[in-house]
Structure 1
Amino acid sequence: MSYEFVRYEKRDHVAVVTLNRPDRMNALHLEAHLELKEVWEDFRDDPEMWVAILTGAGDRAFCAGNDLKVTAERTAEGGDLQGEKRPPFGRITRDFDCPKPIIAAVNGVAAGGGLELVLACDIVVAADHARLGLPEPKVGLFAGAGGAHRLARQIPFKVAMGMLLTGDLVEAHEAHRIGLVNEVVPADELMSTARSWADRITRCSPLSVKLTKEAVFDAQFVSIDEAFRKDDDRRERLLASHDFVEGPRAFAEKRAPQWTGR
């Protein structure tokens, strides 16, 4: 599949999605959102794709959020800024039920919608020059693509409020310290590190990984007992799977398991 504003590659059960507007710091406009909709829905629905890595082209920015220049041009001309065909920001920030892991490889600035994309991912690796934040209040906006909600759930509340109410960006190592980032590496090691995370995940049963992510998200805001009840269906799916048989057999035979995700 070929796109103008996104690069989409598949190899060894890993999809790499690259935001491809480096001249605009990978800021997103309507056309980019529409391409991302196709890409993410293809990843979600392809049984051979088990993990995705999301990154940005170039070394300046992961994603600078909404393309405010295009926004200003279209609103000044009285044009339809989004319209009904505009999907949620980057597609993955809302109404995207995907139990497959997504890794963010943050290669520079992740601001506004860029950080909201990061927050929608499961694991985050950042280059040491990356900066992350939600500066929307500084331009008369608010983080409406999940940033205000997810940030306060993923890092300590007071730290999140400090970032949200000032709009300040934090450096990569500070983002790691507060738990926003899993790992910080030199820029030239970013993609190899993200692929290492992906490879370690693909060595696990893809079905087990999917069920684990489902269980975590289902149980975030319910009691432990209710979470156990929600696991009943997942347990049945696991017990009926090829992977459930293959894992112990491969261990007993001292060989690498041949996962199918089914």
Structure 2
Amino acid sequence: MDSQDPVLVTEPRPGILLMTLNRPRVRNAIDRPLAEAMDAALTRLDADPALTVGILTGAGGHFCSGMDLKAFPAEGVPVVADRGLAGLTRARRRTPLIAAVEGAAVAGGFELALACDLVTAADTAFFALPEVARGLIAAEGGAIRLPGRLPYHVAMEMLLTASTLPATDAARYGLVNHLTGEGLALEAAFALAERVQAHSRDAVHITKQIVQDTRGLDDPAAYTVQDPLSTPVFTTAGAVEGARAFTEKRPPAWHR
């Protein structure tokens, strides 16, 4: 990587924004410039009505090694405003995001993947939260999200011993949606993105918002939050088109 290369490469495709962490010499470790570039790209993803889904991956055979520890003494944790690490881990992002993982997804890199909605991974990839070994805490979602994504004792072993979880085991536990051969995680992510993209953008985005906003609530409270979001959807042109397409046995023609 040349020193002039962008730390984040963004490639818009029809309906999809591909974001590639581009610091391969340090396994795509997150410093302040990369965090700010990520935040800007994610904001663009939510703001552009032509984009239905985003894909996050890493250059050079690895996803992300987490926070750049060399930059940490001077820069601190590379959070952006109240949106968390790289503008993602604490944010309420509207657009579904897929992590395409090759190689290492560790520390903050794993926390980025946990903040995504879907995960594809090569069978040679691995995940870890080694913060305790560095005198740190997995404070950008690792300690909060992981026990809900894995069996409790498996998650606690990772958090308390800094042990590594192979992607093959992560897939077996349901943490990875699609397991691929080495070098094929991005291809699988695009296939998954196209499946998401085939549906109504508004319905997809609001479904994600309902999941985010009702997490941890009991049923009555969850319906109270959900209904103001979901009810208007049933009167939209998209809902009418979806019903007509089903009746006429044809693909829907969504208005993006």
User: What residue number does 1:30 align with?
Assistant: 32
Which of 182, 206, 210 is residue 215 of structure 1 equivalent to? 210
After superposition, the Cα gap between the structure-2 partners of 1:119 and 1:82, relative to the gap in structure 1 and judged at 3 Å, is: closer
Partners of 1:116 and 1:153 in 2: CA distance: 13
- The C-alpha deviation readout for 1:196-241, integer Å capped at 9, x for no partner, is 1101111111111112212222222111122222222123320232
- 5+ residue gaps in structure 2? none
After superposition, the Cα gap between the structure-2 partners of 1:50 and 1:58, relative to the gap in structure 1 and judged at 3 Å, is: same
The one-letter amino acid paired with 2:206 is L
Query: Quick one: percent identity of the two aligned structures?
Result: 37
* 2:112 equivalent to 1:117: yes
User: What residue number does 2:234 align with?
Assistant: 239
- The C-alpha deviation readout for 1:101-158, integer Å capped at 9, x for no partner, is 1110001100000000000001111111101010011111111111110111222222
After superposition, the Cα gap between the structure-2 partners of 1:136 and 1:256, relative to the gap in structure 1 and judged at 3 Å, is: same
User: What residue number does 1:53 align with?
Assistant: 55
Partners of 1:53 and 1:23 in 2: CA distance: 21
Which of 181, 186, 197 is residue 186 of structure 1 equivalent to? 181
Which of 127, 131, 148 is residue 122 of structure 2 equivalent to? 127
User: What residue number does 1:20 align with?
Assistant: 22
Equivalences, count: 252
Partners of 2:199 and 2:80 in 1: CA distance: 37
Work out whether residues 77 and 85 of structure 2, in 8 Å CA contact, stay in contact via their aligned partners in 1.
no
Partners of 1:30 and 1:80 in 2: CA distance: 7
- 5+ residue gaps in structure 1? none
Task: Give the 3-state SS of the residue equivalent to 1:54 in structure 2.
Answer: strand
Runs of 4+ with >3 A deviation: 79-87
Work out whether residues 114 and 146 of structure 2, in 8 Å CA contact, stay in contact via their aligned partners in 1.
yes
Task: Give the 3-state SS of the residue equivalent to 2:63 in structure 1.
Answer: strand
1:3 offset after TM fit, Å?
Answer: 7.3
User: What residue number does 2:160 align with?
Assistant: 165
Q: State the superposition RMSD in angstroms.
A: 1.9
Partners of 2:223 and 2:206 in 1: CA distance: 13
After superposition, the Cα gap between the structure-2 partners of 1:230 and 1:81, relative to the gap in structure 1 and judged at 3 Å, is: closer
Task: Give the 3-state SS of the residue equivalent to 2:220 in structure 1.
Answer: helix
Task: Give the 3-state SS of the residue equivalent to 1:38 in structure 2.
Answer: helix
* 2:67 equivalent to 1:66: yes
Work out whether residues 31 and 78 of structure 2, in 8 Å CA contact, stay in contact via their aligned partners in 1.
no
- The C-alpha deviation readout for 1:81-107, integer Å capped at 9, x for no partner, is 36996662121101x112321110001
* 2:89 equivalent to 1:88: no
Partners of 1:132 and 1:241 in 2: CA distance: 41
* Residues 245-254 or 17-26, more deviating: 245-254
The one-letter amino acid paired with 1:8 is T
Q: Tell me the TM-score normalized by structure 2.
A: 0.92
The one-letter amino acid paired with 2:88 is I
Q: Tell me the TM-score normalized by structure 1.
A: 0.90
Task: Give the 3-state SS of the residue equivalent to 1:150 in structure 2.
Answer: helix
Task: Give the 3-state SS of the residue equivalent to 1:188 in structure 2.
Answer: coil
Partners of 1:160 and 1:203 in 2: CA distance: 34
Work out whether residues 3 and 35 of structure 1, in 8 Å CA contact, stay in contact via their aligned partners in 2.
no
Task: Give the 3-state SS of the residue equivalent to 1:17 in structure 2.
Answer: strand
Task: Give the 3-state SS of the residue equivalent to 1:117 in structure 2.
Answer: helix
User: What residue number does 1:104 align with?
Assistant: 99
* Residues 19-28 or 205-214, more deviating: 205-214
